[in-house]
Every structure is written in C-alpha cells, then in structure tokens.
Structure 1
Amino acid sequence: MRVQSDFVLTATGLEKRFGRKLAVAGVDLAVPRGCIYGVLGPNGAGKTTTLRMLLGIIDPDAGERIVLGASRPREVSDRIGYLPEERGLYPSMKAREAIAFMGALRGLDWAEGRRRGVEMLEAAGLGHAAGEKIRALSKGMAQLVQLLGSMVHRPELLVLDEPFSGLDPVNQEKLEQLILAERDRGATILFSTHVMAHAQRLCERIAIIAGGKRRFEGTVDEARALLPMRAHLVPRSGNGDTATFLPPDASPVRDGFDFEVPAEGIEPVLARLIESGHGVAGLSIERPGLHEIFVKLVREGEAAA
C-alpha cells in the first residue's frame, strides 16, 4: 500500500520486545519532508531499535510505519540511505570502490558510483584518499567514507544511527557540513544521537526517547521552552541585603546572583533593586540549552519506566 503525505516517514505505536524486555514501548514519530530530524536519547533508550523498525530491518511487535509512502519499508530501500551504528567496510577495498559498492547495493551503476565517489571525496576534503585502501585510513576517515557511500545514490531519506560517535572535532564538523548539504539537496535526514550539541545546531525537529517511550516531540525552541529562563544579575551595590530584593531561589555566584526568571518577568526584580538603591551593574538572561532539557526528560522517563 502506498500513501501520499507531507511526511516522509510516520510511525504510530511502535513496540518491540526482546524476550521479557520491552525495548520500545509505543513510539510515535512524524518526520516532515525535507527537514533534519533528530531522535535523541541515552544509550539503551531504544533509538537503534526504533530506526531498524522504521527501515524494515526488523519488524515491530505492534504499531505501524509508513516510509516514503510504503507500509513495507523494504519496498523503497533504494530510495533510502542508511549508516548503521555498527560501522563496517571491506578493508581491502579502495575508498572510491567502497562508495561505488554501497551505491550498487541500492541500484546505482558501478561506473557512476565510482565517479560520484571521487567527486564526493574531493568535496569532503578527502580527495587524496580516493585510491587508498580502507585499512590505510584513520577511523574517522573510514567513517566518512561509509557515510558518503550511504548517500552516493542520492537518497530521498538518509538515516544515520549515532553518526558522530568516535569522530574527532574536525571530522564532526565535516559530517555536519555533509548533512546540511544533503538537506539543501532536498533530502530528509533522520539521525539518532545522545550528543545534544549536534542536535541543537542541526535539527529542525527532535524526538526525545527515554525508557522506550517518546517523551517529547517538537522543535528545539519548543523543547528549550520547557524550562524557565535563567538570569545572572550583578547589583551595583554590594550591600549584604541585596538578596532580599531577589527571587527566593537566587544563589550567589561569582560577582552576582543566578536565579530563574519569575513568571511575571524580570522587570519587577529590576524595579525593586533600583528603588532600594542597589541598582543593576549587569544582567544576562539565557534560555536553558537542549542538554538541560534532555537530562530532565530522561530522568523523568527513567523514573516512570
């Protein structure tokens, strides 16, 4: 069955058991076409199992998934690129041949795959490695070669399982640029990670999974809005009674105080300080990062599980 949708992938109530362990306990996802979507969660949260069910590598025990309009994902596998968590390339293959081989598995002509492979290696700053055997490459370079192989056939949907794992900062940046280039080409990118910095920089939408269940789905900004903003305030006067004019949770740090911005806003706090004669020498307000939201939701999820 084929279904047309503005979503390249949807899943409803996905469940998977391994023996007595319920690894995925009813996950729902909806990935809009053309976006970068992150599936976030701690190790063991069920991210890899969820991705494998979405790709048809394993079947769910319950629930449904529609991928590129197909209820059986394997029927559209040639339109999908996949980088598994377990990396693996033939060590005796040259880099350009490894990319061509992975493309051939998705129906791409071998000669075209070699040509594209060389172009992609050069664009990624790895042109010098095109004729090198995989065994001669560093771990990070080999991982980038495998990533290029997963996208050489120009898939509509690119699924990356923990793609940043094991990469040094330089290769992480290269990978981010490759992901953005694929998005700009028109592909939809779905990747899993437990490193929040990458998700915060790249993702347009995210799902946070903990304890086998989805605990949040939405934009990064919507996730960061789950916790109140925090203020760092430096009073002009250092008198000891300054704290009496601040919210009850204010804690002294460095040259000032940190506290959650009250629901009524920061203005009443500033007014009290000015009226009391303390004044304000400095003020900064920050919304919590994705890391703080992730930790909060994961702890709540694990407690519920």
Structure 2
Amino acid sequence: MLELHNLTRRYGDVLAADDVTFEVPSGRMVGFVGGNGAGKTTTMRMVMGVLAPTSGEVHWDGTPATRAVRARFGYMPEERGLYPKQPVLGQLVYLAQLHGMQAQPARRRAVELLDRFGLADRVDDKVEELSLGNQQRAQIIAAVLGDPVALILDEPFSGLDPTAVDQMSELLREHTSQGVPVLFSSHQLDLVDRLCDSIVVLHQGRVVAEGTSEALRADAPLRYRLTTTGDTGWVRGVAGVTVIDLEGPSVLVEPQDEQVAQRLLTDAVARGGVREFSRIRPTLSEIYREVAA
C-alpha cells in the first residue's frame, strides 16, 4: 500500500500542496483530479522523491518510503522523459536496466509491449520521429517496464486515441490484478469515473473530496426531474422544494429530503398526468465543479 501523510510543499508564500493525505491500496486504481495548478504534479513528484516535501511523509507498506523502494516505482512524469534523438527500443532497454532488469529480458519485454501498442515496426526509430501519440505510448511502456511495485502516472492518457486508451486501460488493469497500486492524474473525468476504484479531488493544494464515484454521488444534493402534461410553475410554491430549472412542463428540483420528494410526486399526480419523475445523479464533472467551487 502507498500512503501519503500530510504532504506539504511551500514555495515562499505559496502552498503548492497543503497537508495532502490519502492512500492507494494494493491492487487498486486511484484517480487524481484537479484543475491546472491544483498541486497534482507537485504531489506526485513528492511521492517519487523528485521533490522534497516541506513536511509530511510517503509510506510504503507502513514504513517511510526509501530511495530503494521508490526506485521500484514506475513513473510517468508530466514532462515526458524519453530522449528524442535516441532509438526507441535501445533507450527502453536502458531504462529497464536502471530498474534492475537484465538486458535480454528487458529487450524481450520491451519488444512485446511495443508490438502490443502497434509500434513493432518502429523499434529502431528515434523518439522524435514518432507522432506525439506514439511517443506517449513509448513513455507508458517505459513506466511499466521493470516489474514496478507501484505506478505513478501523470496524465498518462493525454494525446491517446480511443484504441490506445483501451490498450492502456487493459494494461493498467493487468497490473492492479497483480496487486500493484496505481495512482494517475487526468483531466478526462469520464475516463477516471470509468476506470478508477476511488477518486481524490485536489483544489488549491488541498484534498477537497475523496472516495468512490458512488460515494461522491451519494454526498451530492438530492435532485429530481419532474415532467408533467401541463405547466409546472406551481412547483415554486411547494414547501421544502428548491427549483433549480423550470421550463414549461419540465422542472429540475432539489427537495429537502425524500419525504418531500414523494409529497411533490403525489401533488403532481393529483394535478394530472406525470410523464417523468426521476432521480438525477450528477456526473463526476458536476461533482468536481461543486467541490472545487
């Protein structure tokens, strides 16, 4: 298990990360979301030891993470770290050797992954000769070589086409199925919602929400959509109901509780036909905007 305990990073008067605390359990995928400048990259750099925290600690399996432990983490930085003028396969093997792999097993594994990502015919090309999407594929391969015990990935899906996103998702799931904890940041909230076991939302350097997508939705305001055969303007006068949006026969409301919601439905039925009365569950994007406001 990877644990972040009260990680704080200060640059003068600016708190880039402010008491960041959460965990990435073994075999789980955690999505790390937040706006530009929220502190995600700073936090991930502290996890990797690239950046020293002003205060706080990173723990691995209950003890402070050492340099040797961090060397076994697979890391994909925000600024892609492959050498543009070096051949793809050669530097992948070199990077795997830095993680302790022998040259021949590293070459076999790198070739296998390059083939899996459709790059089997580009192994001798320089990185700068690849498209940006293919460079991203190569960077992902670099992160997972060397049998990492944890994966820390900063925007791994950026620039990938849908096929590559599916390939990457499958690859990450293979690692979590082997007990590897995965932490990745992304602005693609629908993808985070689909892939992750839990989500951490960072805003202005602080964790403002954490949990499964279902748990985060359960904490969202209670909202219903009511559509009738007539005008719904009368809903404005119902006690305990806040009207969010109203247009003719359709109204979006925020009832005080479920009892009020059922009373609203009873009133609507008594006034005529009801075409729809449904609970509105917010998207992850809506939850993010709410907690990061």
TM over 0.5: yes
Structure 1 alignment gaps of length 5 or more: 1-7, 300-305
Using the TM superposition, name which of 281-290 and 53-62 deviates more: 281-290
Question: Which residue number corresponds to residue 94 of structure 2?
Answer: 101
CA distance in 1, matches of 2:244, 2:37: 36
Residue 271 of structure 1, aligned match among 261, 266, 269: 266
Question: Which residue number corresponds to residue 199 of structure 2?
Answer: 206
Using the TM superposition, name which of 119-128 and 167-176 deviates more: 167-176
| 8 A contact 1:70–1:76 mirrored in 2 | no
Matched, 1:115 2:108: yes
Residue 156 of structure 1, aligned match among 149, 156, 162: 149
CA distance in 2, matches of 1:21, 1:42: 17
Q: CA RMSD in A?
A: 2.2
Question: Which residue number corresponds to residue 197 of structure 1?
Answer: 190
Q: What TM-score do the two structures reach when normalised by structure 2?
A: 0.89
CA distance in 1, matches of 2:121, 2:222: 48
Q: After superposition, what is the alpha-carbon deviation per residue over 1:20-66, rounded to whole angstroms, capped at 9, x for unaligned? A: 22211211122211100122211111111111111211221112221
| 8 A contact 1:102–1:150 mirrored in 2 | no
User: What amino acid sits opposite 2:179 in the alignment?
Assistant: G
In 2 relative to 1, CA 240–295 (structure 1 residues): closer, same or farther, beyond 3 Å? closer
User: What amino acid sits opposite 1:275 in the alignment?
Assistant: A
| 8 A contact 1:43–1:194 mirrored in 2 | no
Give the drift of 1:251. Answer: 2.6
Q: After superposition, what is the alpha-carbon deviation per residue over 1:101-140, rounded to whole angstroms, capped at 9, x for unaligned? A: 2211111112111100111122233333334332221101
Using the TM superposition, name which of 78-87 and 170-179 deviates more: 170-179
Give the drift of 1:152. Answer: 1.3
Question: Which residue number corresponds to residue 144 of structure 1?
Answer: 137
| 8 A contact 1:77–1:106 mirrored in 2 | no
Using the TM superposition, name which of 154-163 and 222-231 deviates more: 222-231
Q: Aligned with 2:264: secondary structure? A: helix
Matched, 1:288 2:287: no
CA distance in 1, matches of 2:48, 2:81: 18
Matched, 1:298 2:268: no
Question: Which residue number corresponds to residue 15 of structure 1?
Answer: 8
| 8 A contact 1:228–1:287 mirrored in 2 | no
CA distance in 2, matches of 1:81, 1:32: 16
User: What amino acid sits opposite 1:49 in the alignment?
Assistant: T
Using the TM superposition, name which of 126-135 and 193-202 deviates more: 126-135
Question: Which residue number corresponds to residue 302 of structure 1?
Answer: none
User: What amino acid sits opposite 2:263 in the alignment?
Assistant: P
Question: Which residue number corresponds to residue 254 of structure 2?
Answer: 260
Question: Which residue number corresponds to residue 303 of structure 1?
Answer: none
User: What amino acid sits opposite 1:271 in the alignment?
Assistant: T
CA distance in 2, matches of 1:241, 1:30: 48
In 2 relative to 1, CA 32–243 (structure 1 residues): closer, same or farther, beyond 3 Å? same
Using the TM superposition, name which of 243-252 and 123-132 deviates more: 243-252
Give the drift of 1:155. Answer: 0.9
Report runs of 4+ in structure 1 exceeding 4 Å deviation. Answer: 239-242
Question: Which residue number corresponds to residue 90 of structure 1?
Answer: 83
CA distance in 2, matches of 1:248, 1:173: 41
Once the two structures are aligned, what percentage of the paired residues are identical?
Answer: 34
User: What amino acid sits opposite 1:216 in the alignment?
Assistant: A
CA distance in 2, matches of 1:202, 1:263: 31
Q: What TM-score do the two structures reach when normalised by structure 1?
A: 0.86
| 8 A contact 2:106–2:145 mirrored in 1 | yes
| 8 A contact 1:38–1:205 mirrored in 2 | yes
